[in-house]
A and B are shown apart, each in its own frame.
Chain A
Amino acid sequence: MANADGNLLEVKNLRTYFETDDGIVKAVDDISFQLKRGETLGIVGESGSGKSVTNLSIIRLVPTPPGKIVSGQVVFNGNDLLLLSNDAIRKIRGRRIAMIFQDPMTSLNPFMKISKQLMEMTELHLGHTKAQAHAHAIRMLETVGIPDARERAESYPHEFSGGMRQRAMIAMALSCEPELLIADEPTTALDVTIQAQILELIKKLKRETGTSVILITHDLGVVAGMTDHVIVMYAGKIFEQATTKELFAVPGNPYTKGLLRSVPDPTAEQGKLYQIPGLPPDVAHLKPGCPFAQRCDYTQDICTREFPPFVQLNADHYSLCHFAREVYSESGGTPV
Chain B
Amino acid sequence: MNSTLLSIRDLKVHFDLGGGGPLDKLFGTHPEKRVVKAVDGVSLDIFEQETLGLVGESGCGKSTLGRAILRLTEPTEGQVFYRDRDLAHLSQRQLREQRRHLQIIFQDPYASLNPRMTIGQIVGEPLETFRLARGREAEQRVQELLETVGLSKRFIKRYPHEFSGGQRQRIGIARALAVDPDFIVADEPISALDVSIQAQIMNLLEKLRREKNLTYLFISHDLRAIRHVSDRVAVMYLGRLVEIAEAKTIYKEPLMPYTKALISAVPVPDPQVEATRQRIMLEGDVPSPINPPSGCPFHTRCPYAIDVCKEVVPQLVEIKPLHFAACIRISPAQPHIENVAPGAAPGLE
Q: Judging by beta carbons under 8 Å apart, are B263 and A262 in contact?
A: no
> Interface segment, B70-78, B89-97, B279-287?
B279-287
Within A227-278, which residues are at the interface with B (CB < 8 Å)?
244-245, 248-249, 258-260, 262-267, 269-270, 272-277
Q: Please, what's the 1-or-0 string for B163-177, where 1 marks a CB less than 8 Å from any CB in chain A? A: 010110000000000
Q: Please, what's the 1-or-0 string for A196-239, where 1 marks a CB less than 8 Å from any CB in chain B? A: 11011000000000000000001111111100000000000000
Cα(A264)–Cα(B58), bound, Å: 21
> Interface segment, A13-21, A22-30, A186-194, A297-305?
A186-194
Q: Judging by beta carbons under 8 Å apart, are A193 and B199 in contact?
A: no
Cα(A194)–Cα(B227), bound, Å: 20
> Interface segment, B37-45, B270-278, B318-326?
B270-278
Cα(A269)–Cα(B223), bound, Å: 14
Q: Decide yes or no: A264 and B225 within 8 Å by CB, A192-B265, A279-B164 being known contacts.
A: yes
Q: Please, what's the 1-or-0 string for A156-198, where 1 marks a CB less than 8 Å from any CB in chain B? A: 0000011110000000000000000000000000011111110
Cα(A222)–Cα(B265), bound, Å: 11
Chain A: minimal CB distance from B266 (Å) = 6
Return the contact of A266 from the options B58, B194, B268 (Cβ within 8 A): B268
Query: Would you call B114 an interface residue if the criterion is a C-beta within 8 Å of the partner chain's C-beta atoms?
Result: no
Query: Would you call A47 an interface residue if the criterion is a C-beta within 8 Å of the partner chain's C-beta atoms?
Result: yes
Return the contact of A197 from the options B225, B267, B268, B281 (Cβ within 8 A): B281
- A-B contact list, 27 entries, CB within 8 Å: A164-B285, A191-B286, A192-B266, A194-B57, A194-B285, A197-B281, A197-B282, A220-B195, A224-B273, A225-B268, A225-B275, A244-B271, A248-B269, A249-B271, A262-B199, A263-B195, A265-B269, A265-B270, A266-B224, A266-B263, A272-B203, A273-B202, A273-B203, A275-B196, A275-B199, A279-B166, A280-B194
Return the contact of B266 from the options A223, A245, A266, A273 (Cβ within 8 A): A266
Cα(A195)–Cα(B251), bound, Å: 19
Query: Would you call B261 an interface residue if the criterion is a C-beta within 8 Å of the partner chain's C-beta atoms?
Result: yes
Chain B: minimal CB distance from A67 (Å) = 22
Chain B residue with Cβ nearest A267: B268
Chain A: minimal CB distance from B221 (Å) = 7
Within B199-237, which residues are at the interface with A (CB < 8 Å)?
199-200, 202-203, 206, 221, 223-225, 227-228
Q: Which of B164, B269, B281 has the most CB of A within 10 A?
A: B269
Query: Would you call A46 an interface residue if the criterion is a C-beta within 8 Å of the partner chain's C-beta atoms?
Result: yes
Cα(A269)–Cα(B272), bound, Å: 18
Q: Judging by beta carbons under 8 Å apart, are A221 and B285 in contact?
A: no
- Return chain A residues, CB-CB under 8 Å to B221: 191-192
Query: Would you call A127 an interface residue if the criterion is a C-beta within 8 Å of the partner chain's C-beta atoms?
Result: no
Query: Would you call B7 an interface residue if the criterion is a C-beta within 8 Å of the partner chain's C-beta atoms?
Result: no
Query: Would you call A288 an interface residue if the criterion is a C-beta within 8 Å of the partner chain's C-beta atoms?
Result: no
Q: Judging by beta carbons under 8 Å apart, are B269 and A263 in contact?
A: yes
Query: Would you call A147 an interface residue if the criterion is a C-beta within 8 Å of the partner chain's C-beta atoms?
Result: yes
Q: Judging by beta carbons under 8 Å apart, are B271 and A248 in contact?
A: yes
Which 10 residue pairs of A and B lie closest in terms of their CB atoms, listed nearest first? A221-B267, A225-B274, A264-B228, A262-B199, A191-B57, A196-B265, A46-B194, A220-B269, A275-B199, A276-B196
Query: Would you call B123 an interface residue if the criterion is a C-beta within 8 Å of the partner chain's C-beta atoms?
Result: no
Q: Decide yes or no: A192 and B262 within 8 Å by CB, A224-B267, A248-B269, A262-B199 being known contacts.
A: yes
Chain A residue with Cβ nearest B251: A266
Query: Would you call B248 an interface residue if the criterion is a C-beta within 8 Å of the partner chain's C-beta atoms?
Result: yes
Q: Judging by beta carbons under 8 Å apart, are B274 and A196 in contact?
A: no
Q: Judging by beta carbons under 8 Å apart, are A221 and B279 in contact?
A: no
Chain B residue with Cβ nearest A163: B285
Chain A: minimal CB distance from B21 (Å) = 25
Q: Judging by beta carbons under 8 Å apart, are A266 and B227 in contact?
A: yes
Chain B: minimal CB distance from A242 (Å) = 11
Q: Judging by beta carbons under 8 Å apart, are A193 and B57 in contact?
A: yes
Chain A residue with Cβ nearest B274: A225
Cα(A267)–Cα(B247), bound, Å: 11
Q: Judging by beta carbons under 8 Å apart, are B196 and A224 in contact?
A: no
Cα(A225)–Cα(B197), bound, Å: 23
Return the contact of A262 from the options B195, B206, B272 (Cβ within 8 A): B195
Query: Would you call B118 an interface residue if the criterion is a C-beta within 8 Å of the partner chain's C-beta atoms?
Result: no
Cα(A273)–Cα(B195), bound, Å: 12
Q: Judging by beta carbons under 8 Å apart, are A265 and B268 in contact?
A: yes
- Return chain B residues, CB-CB under 8 Å to A225: 267-268, 271, 274-275
Q: Judging by beta carbons under 8 Å apart, are B282 and A269 in contact?
A: no
- Return chain B residues, CB-CB under 8 Å to A223: 269
Q: Judging by beta carbons under 8 Å apart, are A224 and B274 in contact?
A: yes
Cα(A313)–Cα(B275), bound, Å: 25
